[in-house]
Amino acid sequence: MKKHTLKEWFLATRPWSFPASAMPVLVTLAYLFWQQYDVCWWKGLWCVLNIVVFHAAGNTWSDYHDFKSGVDNSETAGGVAITSGQFEPGEIRGLSMALLVVAVVSGISIVICTGLPVLYLGLAGFFLTLLYPFLKYRALGDVDIFLTYSLLPILGTSFVSTGEIHYGALWLSVPIGLITVAILHINNLRDMEYDKKAGISTFAMRIGAKWAVAVYGIELLLPFAWIVACALCGVFPWWSVLALIAVAPAAANVKKSMRYEEGGMSAVIGLDEQTAKLQLLFGMLLFISFLVPVIF
């Protein structure tokens, strides 16, 4: 068995995707702060660390199952840690289990410090993570991701950081959730041909390439319209339109995705990582927009 550096183990978790899990928590904390709730920031940051570890466990769990199911191989762009031969499948499975144990222990500690509502939300996230490969292969991966990395963390963060569940925070679930789902969706669009050969059925495959490209465009651009509408209605502060700065890279991503029908898989390689970077930019701008009107 090969020896691996700490950096190699870290890169095997696909850290470029972590904005998808960290941003919902950070933006929720800022939103609650803007709403003038008594936010416990150290507990909120604990939530960030916990969900990122959970995310890393989910990534490696998915990579292991994709390889074992024949979804990822040397010809595909996914699960590179295994398909490149750098790691054995068993090593990635072991890494996933170790990360899952850390996330569960941390999650139980959060429950002890806060209360039972977090346990129910955490259990839902736990089972959705384990079931993700099964659901993904049956065109339900997008729903799984929306619940796991948008709805559940927003509700969980509101309870952990304030002691109550604030359903108003769910206004954030649409813009944050759609961009997160878009990371998976563009990944599935890229891999459509190979996924078909593997005998699985993703949402992108069900609707076809033309509509899959259109859905990706909606997932990236609707969040900006949502932010403007919420600002006009007073649901978000006017400062939230600061997030419109991210429209340019979002539009560039949509434009690149439209090349799929002509160029196929090679035309959209790397677009999943670019979408994760968009989530980071969009989320940070939204985070700042909730803090500014309170601080200044």
CA distance 148 to 144: 6
Asked if 64 and 93 touch (Cβ cutoff 8 Å), the reply is yes
Asked if 67 and 79 touch (Cβ cutoff 8 Å), the reply is yes
Closest CA to 179 of 282, 51, 95: 282
Q: Quick one: pLDDT at residue 260?
A: 92
Q: Which domain holds residue 198?
A: 6-295
Q: Convert 131-140 to b/e letters by CB count within 10 Å (16 or more is b).
A: ebbeebbebb
Give the phi and the psi of residue 85 in degrees, each rounded to 5. 90, 0
177 falls within a domain? yes
281 falls within a domain? yes
CA distance 126 to 108: 12
Q: What is the DSSP letter of 169?
A: G
| Degrees to nearest 5, angle at CA 133 with 17 and 7 | 35
Report how far apart, in Å, the C-alpha atoms of 273 and of each of 51, 92, 193, 270 are: 19, 21, 20, 5
Residue 256 identity: K
pLDDT 10s per residue in the chain (296 long)? 678 999 999 999 999 999 999 999 999 999 999 999 999 999 999 999 999 999 999 999 999 998 888 887 777 776 788 988 899 999 999 999 999 999 999 999 999 999 999 999 999 999 999 999 999 999 999 999 999 999 999 999 999 999 999 999 999 999 999 999 999 999 999 988 888 888 899 999 999 999 999 999 999 999 999 999 999 999 999 999 999 999 999 999 999 999 998 888 888 999 999 999 999 999 999 999 999 999 98
Q: Quick one: pLDDT at residue 175?
A: 97
190: Cα separation from own chain's centroid = 17
Closest CA to 280 of 11, 16, 12, 46: 16
Q: Quick one: pLDDT at residue 1?
A: 60
Task: For residue 167, count CB atoms less than 10 angstroms from its CB and return exposed for 0-12, middle for 13-18, buried for 19 or more.
Answer: exposed
1 falls within a domain? no
Q: Quick one: pLDDT at residue 85?
A: 87
71 falls within a domain? yes
Number of domains in the chain: 1
Give the SS3 label for residue 201: strand
Q: Quick one: pLDDT at residue 266?
A: 86
CA distance 112 to 108: 6
94 falls within a domain? yes
22 falls within a domain? yes
CA distance 236 to 242: 11
Three-state SS string over 113-160 comes to HCCHHHHHHHHHHHHHHHHHHHHHCECCHHHHHHHHHHHHHHHHHHHH
Asked if 240 and 230 touch (Cβ cutoff 8 Å), the reply is yes
59 falls within a domain? yes
Q: Quick one: pLDDT at residue 261?
A: 85
